[in-house]
Structure 1
């Protein structure tokens, strides 16, 4: 028996929440944007009127204004978005306890066990849309399918405020003619690789040889082939399941470009400090480090490496991140944004192979004690109470950030 899965995706979430307090902007093109003065000058969300002008998420304010000179900009209020996200998910829980948030404005729901109570998947999706609209004044689009991938693509298929069913009888008709870039999990780089091979549509992907795709893209190639053919049995997580943290990262867009080695070291030290403190707070260690680098022209590269020993020590995370940068970036070339992420996480109490050299063990203990001392001071006096000397009084707009002070990335 097939499952019934719904994917709910809020329509222009940030913009819609802002319009609740600013109804005067409902009749004009508007967008939520970062602060241009701190170089967070991109569009975070837009309303339908701005969308008609071609304004898209993640483009620069300058570009959006060029398309739509009358575009009204509103600064984001992330605490408000979190509040509404919780209220929206509370509504989902009225229909099922199998709710898996995918981001602040998207969630999967497995309603298989709720069909006798609330009707078909389409009826439940429509009830949810109407309830959110009546109680919160917001709209969402829903996809209904027998797997998570097609449910997600269904919520994207028709917007705003719509329900789309993608099932075994119609997925080839609806999805296969679509451009390969519309396939879930296919980013721009992957789409370019596939198109160079003549794979232009989702149907082309589905009919390609799985082994060829694996040779081109590794494991991801096989998964994408399966997804295009409707083969996905990944479960929707129950609300009672313990959420497994898969990575811990922090990224900053700097007030000015990083140029010198001192700039880079200051930035990486601050980012590594935040990542390590968050790992310790969650009692985790990272067995790998990933580094993302974005230049002023928004070109991004991503590099990662495995560590000899899993760690949540600031100096070790910093050393790994800095070595990645030196191996993949020419110092002196400007950097707009850096992100450091701990990956391949393990419980901090898991046993591991330690160095046989006593001085290495002593160095680790010394650095661990230093980090824990800083954690204790920050816990008592706040995240900015203590930091590393090289980070003080920098003009890059960085320092140690508490969880609540970090800007959410989506």
Structure 2
């Protein structure tokens, strides 16, 4: 392997496997994690049910037509969070502290030095796989390569309970023939845009001129092109157990002071950050933004502005957080050209530890909608796409855009006065 060596550890069918730790019978019959009611949607299916045709996001009434006596298990997020923390900690304590947790069931390890005590990289990967199985009754799939992206892609080659490697010299053989939709970081919208370049496989993307992809997709396109060619250089984020903040930044392909465009970027960034926080089963007390202006030769401190606000009650909800993001932005933006914009959520706490005194009306609303939205979040996270949205949130999103643009203009006029 070149210089750095990364593992991506992905627990197999994690949610349902957590239930099987104490009840092995679950692994012996077709089973799903799903709310057991007429409107239930499959969050996770075990491999026996997948082999018969059950898939994530499938309505339970359709599942029962395929397997009438399928075992249905109600979701238990407290259990999943506990197993996740304990397993990651045990791996870190036993094998290497260079760990970055990216979701409740995935983590990266950097083993560039630590693998040597096991003789080979593959020996270490298999040791970890057996350690997880022996100590936690879980199976995992491990991808091995020279950077995070390639190890992530390699982890998909031999599921479940497998170890796969992909050397940089093997990307043309193993990576490039894959459909572009199978590339980590490529969703339906990006796939549609790639049609203009006739990009159907990861190899098609890798062979494009870098400038052409950047012109089409901006910074995101540049990152995808780098990954497709196996060129990314990665570091491990060590703040994994008590991760204090999650953020995203966007460097604009062209300088902009267009309110509509900037607000759209802010909303997209806020949505991405909220989803990442939800995936870690967290909520945030602090909302922060960063804006970098066009460089007129000033010091960085003069062209970079940051603001933050502390919430009375922690949240990971887009519709609750986005108004605060806009408030922060318009508290100092004076219409100058913007070069970079970013959103960060900090002071994170466990989602299930948050306690709030609710009114009777709020309790009734939560009973009606909380289960549905929780299931939708889990499904969207499991397929790495935001495919599902409630009708209420769609209406709220449209209204929020409309109100925000009106608010922006009023604030701007007030500042002029």
Q: Which runs of 4+ in 1 moved over 6 A?
A: 343-346, 405-408
- Whole-Å Cα distance in 2 between the matches of residues 120 and 90 of structure 1? 23
Post-superposition offset of 1:19: 2.0
User: What does residue 157 of structure 2 align with?
Assistant: 157
Unaligned runs of 5+ in 1: 249-270, 289-307, 319-337, 357-378, 400-404
Deviation sequence 1:132-171 (CA, Å, 0-9, x none): 1111111100000000001111111110111000111212
User: What does residue 43 of structure 1 align with?
Assistant: 42
User: What does residue 188 of structure 1 align with?
Assistant: 188
| Equivalent residues of 2:155, 2:164 under 8 A apart | yes
Post-superposition offset of 1:278: 4.8
Q: Go from structure 1 to structure 2 and tell me whether the alpha carbon gap of 1:27 and 1:115 turns closer, same or farther (over 3 Å shift).
A: closer
- Whole-Å Cα distance in 1 between the matches of residues 49 and 312 of structure 2? 43
User: What does residue 210 of structure 1 align with?
Assistant: 210
Post-superposition offset of 1:64: 2.9
After TM superposition, the structure 1 = structure 2 runs for residues 33-72 of structure 1, keeping only pairs within 5 Å, are 33-36=34-37, 41-72=40-71
Q: Go from structure 1 to structure 2 and tell me whether the alpha carbon gap of 1:81 and 1:240 turns closer, same or farther (over 3 Å shift).
A: closer
- Whole-Å Cα distance in 2 between the matches of residues 176 and 202 of structure 1? 5
> Is 145-154 or 44-53 further displaced after alignment?
44-53
After TM superposition, the structure 1 = structure 2 runs for residues 270-289 of structure 1, keeping only pairs within 5 Å, are 278-280=283-285, 284-287=286-289
| Equivalent residues of 2:36, 2:72 under 8 A apart | no
**What is the count of residue pairs matched by the alignment?**
308
- Whole-Å Cα distance in 1 between the matches of residues 310 and 133 of structure 2? 44
- Whole-Å Cα distance in 2 between the matches of residues 190 and 398 of structure 1? 31
User: What does residue 368 of structure 2 align with?
Assistant: 397
Post-superposition offset of 1:309: 6.8
Q: Go from structure 1 to structure 2 and tell me whether the alpha carbon gap of 1:31 and 1:393 turns closer, same or farther (over 3 Å shift).
A: closer
Structure 2 residue 19 is matched with structure 1 residue 12: no
User: What does residue 385 of structure 1 align with?
Assistant: 357
- Whole-Å Cα distance in 2 between the matches of residues 351 and 221 of structure 1? 26
Q: Go from structure 1 to structure 2 and tell me whether the alpha carbon gap of 1:117 and 1:199 turns closer, same or farther (over 3 Å shift).
A: same
- Whole-Å Cα distance in 1 between the matches of residues 202 and 215 of structure 2? 18
Unaligned runs of 5+ in 2: 249-273, 291-305, 335-352, 382-417
Q: Go from structure 1 to structure 2 and tell me whether the alpha carbon gap of 1:153 and 1:342 turns closer, same or farther (over 3 Å shift).
A: farther
Post-superposition offset of 1:183: 0.5
| Equivalent residues of 2:142, 2:164 under 8 A apart | yes
Post-superposition offset of 1:211: 1.8
Q: Go from structure 1 to structure 2 and tell me whether the alpha carbon gap of 1:218 and 1:344 turns closer, same or farther (over 3 Å shift).
A: farther
- Whole-Å Cα distance in 1 between the matches of residues 221 and 321 of structure 2? 25
| Equivalent residues of 1:247, 1:341 under 8 A apart | no
| Equivalent residues of 2:100, 2:240 under 8 A apart | no
- Whole-Å Cα distance in 2 between the matches of residues 42 and 199 of structure 1? 33
- Whole-Å Cα distance in 2 between the matches of residues 64 and 53 of structure 1? 10
- Whole-Å Cα distance in 2 between the matches of residues 87 and 240 of structure 1? 13
- Give the structure with the higher percent helix: 2
Q: Residue 7 of structure 1: SS of its match in structure 2? A: strand
Structure 2 residue 67 is matched with structure 1 residue 95: no
After TM superposition, the structure 1 = structure 2 runs for residues 335-350 of structure 1, keeping only pairs within 5 Å, are 339-340=318-319, 342=321
Post-superposition offset of 1:12: 0.7
Post-superposition offset of 1:355: 10
Post-superposition offset of 1:219: 1.1
- Whole-Å Cα distance in 1 between the matches of residues 323 and 218 of structure 2? 18
Q: Residue 231 of structure 2: SS of its match in structure 1? A: coil
User: What does residue 2 of structure 1 align with?
Assistant: 3
- Whole-Å Cα distance in 2 between the matches of residues 193 and 3 of structure 1? 33
Per the normalisation by structure 1, the TM-score is 0.65
- Whole-Å Cα distance in 1 between the matches of residues 173 and 24 of structure 2? 40
| Equivalent residues of 1:287, 1:342 under 8 A apart | no
- Whole-Å Cα distance in 1 between the matches of residues 27 and 182 of structure 2? 29
| Equivalent residues of 1:14, 1:81 under 8 A apart | yes
Structure 2 residue 231 is matched with structure 1 residue 231: yes
- Whole-Å Cα distance in 1 between the matches of residues 144 and 366 of structure 2? 49
Deviation sequence 1:251-304 (CA, Å, 0-9, x none): xxxxxxxxxxxxxxxxxxxx9xxx9x9543xxx22449xxxxxxxxxxxxxxxx
- Whole-Å Cα distance in 1 between the matches of residues 329 and 194 of structure 2? 42
Per the normalisation by structure 2, the TM-score is 0.64
Deviation sequence 1:27-82 (CA, Å, 0-9, x none): 32111113536x5x221111111111222222322333344334221111222212
Tell me the C-alpha RMSD between the 2 structures. Answer: 4.0
User: What does residue 178 of structure 1 align with?
Assistant: 178
